[in-house]
Amino acid sequence: GQNIDQPTEMTATEGAIVQINCTYQTSGFNGLFWYQQHAGEAPTFLSYNVLDGLEEKGRFSSFLSRSKGYSYLLLKELQMKDSASYLCAVMDSNYQLIWGAGTKLIIKP
Amino acid sequence: GAVVSQHPSRVICKSGTSVKIECRSLDFQATTMFWYRQFPKQSLMLMATSNEGSKATYEQGVEKDKFLINHASLTLSTLTVTSAHPEDSSFYICSARGLGYQETQYFGPGTRLLVL
């Protein structure tokens, strides 16, 4: 079966760095996406990785290792507004997105 | 990123009535649109995938006669919840993907449905 695993909840301090991990087992791979979802709102796109390595975009970076079926989202200089759920999703061989359950990130002052 | 709109943002209706939700891609052509449902504190659940000009593909357990999907153009898809019941109350979110299969899905802002 297809499976995406990510931690249910994480807590971090304002100004710090946090890494949210995602491991996956899917039938085929056509890229991995990270989305941010604030409570009561729809998800917004953060990043897309299809090749191994690190993609940096401002305070957010996303890493992919296809051989390990592993990705992480790195958030630097955390701000209170970064409190949200972070969703990992993998596009399988049928170009369908398989969604993780999301990681709720709590930022404390 | 691309812009997807959804209308209405919030709707309250009586049990037994039908509700139509529109999803539009504003600045790109969306060959594929997806309809999701999300209950409070739960994951996104894909309901159906629709390709322009063809019938929608429904996920297992989703009643196609209850959730009617029409993808009449490259910029518009509609979801009609027929004979709505209180258990249909949820957050309905559409997303749209451009011409390439590997293109990013962009989400609409969602529609909160409350059935009384």
DSSP of B30-87: -SEEEEEEE-TTS--EEEEEEETTSPPEEPTT--TTTEEEEEEETTEEEEEE-S--GG
Q: Give the chain B residue nearest A41 (alpha carbons).
A: B109
Which has the closest alpha carbon to A55: A68, A70, A73? A73
Count the Cβ atoms, other than its own, within 10 Å of residue B37: 21
| Separation of alpha carbons B42 and B47, rounded Å | 14
- pLDDT at residue A106, as a whole number: 98
Examine the pLDDT at B101 and tell me if it is beyond 60.
no
Average pLDDT along chain B: 91
CA distance B26 to chain A (A): 16
Of B44, B102, B106, the CB nearest to A99: B44
CA distance B106 to chain A (A): 7
Instruction: Tell me the residue length of chain A.
Output: 109
B86 phi and psi angles, rounded to 5 deg: -55, -35
Strands A32-37 and A84-91: antiparallel
Q: Report yes or no: B93 at the A interface, CB cutoff 8 Å.
A: yes
Q: Give the chain A residue nearest B93 (alpha carbons).
A: A42
- Band (A26; pLDDT cuts 50, 70, 90): very high
Check CB contact under 8 Å for B43 and A41: no
pLDDT per residue as tens digits for the range A84-105: 999 999 998 888 889 999 999 9
In degrees, to the nearest 5, what angle opens at C-alpha A20 toward C-alphas B33 and B95?
A: 10
Check CB contact under 8 Å for B107 and A42: yes
Task: Give the CB-side neighbour count of residue A12, counting CA atoms within 13 A.
Answer: 23
pLDDT per residue as tens digits for the range B51-73: 888 889 999 999 999 999 998 88
- pLDDT at residue A96, as a whole number: 84
Average pLDDT value for residue range A13-33: 96
